Amino acid sequence: MPKTKQQTSGSGKLITLLIVAAFMALTIILENTMSPSSLLFTVIKKGAVYSLVAVSMNLLNGFTGLFSLGQAGFMLLGAYTYAIFMIPSDVRDSVYYLFNGSSVHFSFQEMFGAIFGTAGFGGAVSLVLGVLVAIICAGIVAAIFAYLIGLPVLRLKSDYLAIATLGFAEIIRAIFQWDKLGPVTNGANMLKNFPTFADFNIKNASGQIVLRLSAFVPVFLSAVCIFIIVLLINSSYGRAFKAIRDDEIAAEAMGVNLAHHKRLSFCISSFFAGVGGALFAMFTTMVQAKVFTSTMTYEILLIVVIGGIGSVSGSCIASLLYIAASEWWLRFLDNETYINGTRVPLLRSGFRMVVFSVIIMIVVLFFRQGIMGSRELPELLRRRPKKQPAVEEVRTHE
Amino acid sequence: MSNNILSVENITMQFGGVIAVNNLTIEVPEHKIVALIGPNGAGKTTAFNCITGVYEPTNGRVRFLDETIVENHPHGKMKKSYAGENAGLYTHVVSPTPDTITQLGIARTFQNIRLWKSMTVFENVLTAKHMRARQNVFSATFRGNAKEEKRMREETMQLLQEQGLEHHKDDLATSLPYGLQRRLEIARALATNPKLLLLDEPAAGMNPQETQELAQFIREIREKYGLTVFLIEHHMDLVMKISDYIYVIDFGSEIAQGVPKDVQNNQHVIDAYLGVVEDA
């Protein structure tokens, strides 16, 4: 019997949904019971943001087979779009003080505030709507740039495409630091004072926090976006993307318009990278172009590879593990430690990255396909079928 | 209005200084099985690639259902170096991408099987239905096309049943035995609802038993789907058995054409396949 690939069953989907829901509930509970300064919440927030960006990269690299390294550039576009549209107008002058104020004179939150009011429930509605619209704008701006970049760049294949998109990300970063664009981008200076995750904590009239949602919001937003990507991957278009990945020539011969589908995948991936960029801006509470370096793209690529190229759940798990390891679990390696007065050797600032790199090498060596390979969570949870000998492939004698 | 579903007119394909296909004219009448044969390297697959839009021929025209689908004349760099015939005959450039041609109703298979490796048998066929679907990316993502998706899945299942592949539905395409992979590739091509099926060496690598079945299979699908079949093949017994008409090419040029019996006894064909004994 040939080996079979099981279809994702209904119960598998349900289990995955339950796990995600449980994770969200746990986030809310922990955040309201534990100390809010715990590094755990940094990990959850950043992990959620990186999950989304990693999944968007996986859509392109893992499912469509386009090796692109422009993720940081699209995140930058998203982050800037979000920040520019969300800085309240009364603090704009202080943020843009080097350029005598911003050339954008409104923020989405205030626009909705004018309709729903700024205090109490109306204020919450205008915050949520403002943030949502700004996030969607962030995605759209990134997608528009992706479309324009894609016109010339998507003719390239594999490594050449990677180089071209990497170049694009670097150029975008340089342009956003350009002084002449100062009134919009604030040059090389940071944009700040826009609504962040902390603004979603629900406060009572006296300003005390009643319910903390600052870690739940990024998890929820990422989960919604990832869910949409999963829907896309499982749709007819997702199958066409996989066909392009598996065999471009066959896909074209079966009527898949390569240019159209590649562009589509590139734009959608960039849209969600832009959304991820906006969430990243909310996480870091400030935006500065110099943060979005190619190192960031490599981090995301690493997450995708560790999680398994072509596995959405792999990307999510890997990004949480990656962020937890780099931000939290290995922190102690950076601190000089003394036991009974003797200094523990090797432990000093920077040692964390050495250990981290070794761990990554070990992971890549022992999990060649990444943690999940190309499988998804439901397939992993199901009982494995007995291993059957693979049918020997009959070779052509041409 | 001719009754030819496909006419290839004076196609020449020149790569640099090499003429791979030289002034080839082929007519494929509707509902017939036409074969293109020739020794290795004769230019058969190149001819196929010119028809299906993989290559842009240097000169010549391809008509499908009386519409010009491919046309080209030597231009640009090729203008000077063109060494073929009929240089001034065509003036337009029509060079669609392969997917446009598939859209028109020409489906093909490949000499070395090109199934989508990571997909199951079912998904392979289902994906080929993507082209004919009327959804857009939003309706597909948010399941606004549930009806169409259901119909596509039903049609796929039906096609697999007709091809006898339904037991292998959830197997990875590459895990099938060779003969079934060939059959799956044909099923996948059929999923695009073609009027004309181009088979590039469908019996390559098959044993005599499988070849027998394939001959029967090709006849069956022609009847069932109202197809016209144009095939390249090396197995002479298969070609002679199923073809209505045969074109023989060697070194890119046609050396013979006719019904199987005539071609079999044609001296040029025998020479091309067996070599010519030079008189000392």
A320 contacts A55 by C-beta, under 8 angstroms: no
CA distance A186 to B239: 73
CATH number of the domain where residue B211 is located: 3.40.50.300
Q: Are residues B225 and B185 in the same domain?
A: no
Q: Are residues B170 and B226 in the same domain?
A: no
Grouping H, G, I as helix, E, B as strand and the rest as coil, residue A31 is helix
Kindly state whether A9 is in contact with chain B, defined as any CB-CB distance less than 8 angstroms.
no
Interface test with A, best of B106, B137, B200, B233 (most A CBs within 10 A): B137
CA distance A71 to A293: 10
Residue A142 backbone dihedrals phi, psi, to 5 degrees: -60, -40
Interface test with B, best of A5, A63, A155, A392 (most B CBs within 10 A): A5
Q: Are residues B128 and B173 in the same domain?
A: yes
Chain A residues with CB inside 8 Å of B147's CB?
none
B71 contacts B90 by C-beta, under 8 angstroms: yes
Of B127, B189, B204, the CB nearest to A240: B127
Query: Tens digit of pLDDT for each residue in A124-180?
Result: 888 889 999 999 999 999 999 999 999 999 988 888 999 999 999 999 999 998 888
Grouping H, G, I as helix, E, B as strand and the rest as coil, residue A308 is coil
For residue A5, what pLDDT is reported? 44
Q: B3: pLDDT confidence band, cut at 50, 70 and 90?
A: confident
| Helix (H), strand (E) at residue B213 | helix B208-225
- Note the ipTM here: 0.90
A321 conformational bin, left if phi > 0, alpha if psi -120 to 50, beta if neither: alpha
Give the residue among A351, A159, A196 at the shortest CA–CA distance from A287: A196
CA distance A79 to A93: 20
For residue A64, what pLDDT is reported? 93
B204 contacts B127 by C-beta, under 8 angstroms: no
Spell out where chain B has E strands.
4-15, 18-29, 33-37, 59-64, 67-72, 106-108, 196-200, 228-232, 245-250, 253-258
The strand pairing partners of B14, in sequence order, are: B19
- State which residue of chain B sits closest to A238, comparing Cα positions: B141
Kindly state whether A389 is in contact with chain B, defined as any CB-CB distance less than 8 angstroms.
no
Mean pLDDT value of segment B109-134: 91
Residues B260, B261, B265, B268, CA torsion sign: negative
What angle separates helix A258-284 from helix A236-246, to the nearest 10 degrees? 110
Structural domain that includes position B153: 114-193
Burial A207-228 (b: 16+ CB within 10 A, else e): eeeeebbbbbbbbbbbbebbeb
Closest-CA distance, B60 to chain A, in angstroms, reads 22
For residue A4, what pLDDT is reported? 43
Give the residue among B194, B221, B201 at the shortest CA–CA distance from B105: B194
Q: Are residues B75 and B163 in the same domain?
A: no
Grouping H, G, I as helix, E, B as strand and the rest as coil, residue B12 is strand
Domain count within chain B: 2
CA distance A219 to B46: 54
Residues A296, A301, A307, A311, CA torsion sign: positive
For residue A398, what pLDDT is reported? 37
The strand pairing partners of B7, in sequence order, are: B27, B63
Grouping H, G, I as helix, E, B as strand and the rest as coil, residue B232 is strand
Of B112, B131, B168, the CB nearest to A2: B168
Q: Are residues B5 and B101 in the same domain?
A: yes
Final residue before a domain boundary, out of B193, B215, B231: B193
Interface test with A, best of B127, B145, B152, B185 (most A CBs within 10 A): B127
Kindly state whether A264 is in contact with chain B, defined as any CB-CB distance less than 8 angstroms.
yes
CA distance B62 to A58: 41
Q: Are residues B96 and B216 in the same domain?
A: yes
Q: Are residues B13 and B82 in the same domain?
A: yes
Residue A301 backbone dihedrals phi, psi, to 5 degrees: -60, -40
Give the residue among A26, A25, A75 at the shortest CA–CA distance from A269: A75
Chain A residues with CB inside 8 Å of B129's CB?
236
Q: Are residues B201 and B68 in the same domain?
A: yes
Closest-CA distance, A372 to chain B, in angstroms, reads 15
Q: What is the mean pLDDT of chain B?
A: 88
CA distance A311 to A317: 10
Q: Are residues B62 and B83 in the same domain?
A: yes
Interface test with A, best of B130, B134, B142, B198 (most A CBs within 10 A): B130
Count of CB atoms within 10 A of residue A158's CB?
10
B199: pLDDT strictly greater than 90: yes
Contact A256 B131 (CB under 8 A): yes
Lookup result for tokens 């469509």: A64
Kindly state whether A396 is in contact with chain B, defined as any CB-CB distance less than 8 angstroms.
yes
Final residue before a domain boundary, out of B175, B193, B211: B193
Give the residue among B191, B263, B266, B218 at the shortest CA–CA distance from B33: B218
CA distance A235 to B152: 12
Q: Are residues B134 and B24 in the same domain?
A: no
B90 contacts B104 by C-beta, under 8 angstroms: no
CA distance A162 to A298: 12
Tell me the count of A-B CB pairs closer than 8 A: 142
Q: Are residues B162 and B175 in the same domain?
A: yes
Kindly state the tokens that stand for B222.
């022609």
A232 contacts A238 by C-beta, under 8 angstroms: yes
Please tell me which residue, A395 or B99, carries the higher pLDDT value: B99
Chain B residues with CB inside 8 Å of A249's CB?
54, 110, 114
Chain A residues with CB inside 8 Å of B130's CB?
236-237, 239-240, 243, 254-256
The strand pairing partners of B24, in sequence order, are: B11
Kindly state whether A247 is in contact with chain B, defined as any CB-CB distance less than 8 angstroms.
yes
Tens digit of each residue's pLDDT, chain A (398 residues): 344 444 455 677 888 889 899 999 998 888 888 887 888 888 999 999 999 999 999 999 999 999 999 999 999 999 999 999 988 888 888 888 888 777 777 888 888 888 887 777 888 888 889 999 999 999 999 999 999 999 999 988 888 999 999 999 999 999 998 888 888 888 888 888 888 888 888 887 777 888 888 889 999 999 999 999 999 999 999 999 999 999 999 999 999 999 999 999 999 999 999 999 999 999 999 899 889 988 899 999 999 998 888 889 999 999 999 999 888 888 888 777 788 888 777 777 788 888 888 888 888 888 878 888 777 877 776 655 444 444 444 444 43
CA distance A357 to A325: 11
Final residue before a domain boundary, out of B165, B193, B221: B193
Kindly state the tokens that stand for B172.
């990875």
For residue A396, what pLDDT is reported? 40
Of A250, A252, A397, the CB nearest to B116: A250
Contact B170 A4 (CB under 8 A): yes
Amino acid at position B233, single letter: E
Kindly state whether A246 is in contact with chain B, defined as any CB-CB distance less than 8 angstroms.
yes
CA distance B246 to B201: 14
Q: Are residues B158 and B232 in the same domain?
A: no
What ranges in chain A are assigned the alpha helix state H?
10-33, 39-58, 71-86, 89-95, 108-116, 120-153, 158-176, 182-185, 216-233, 236-246, 248-253, 258-284, 294-307, 312-324, 351-366, 377-381
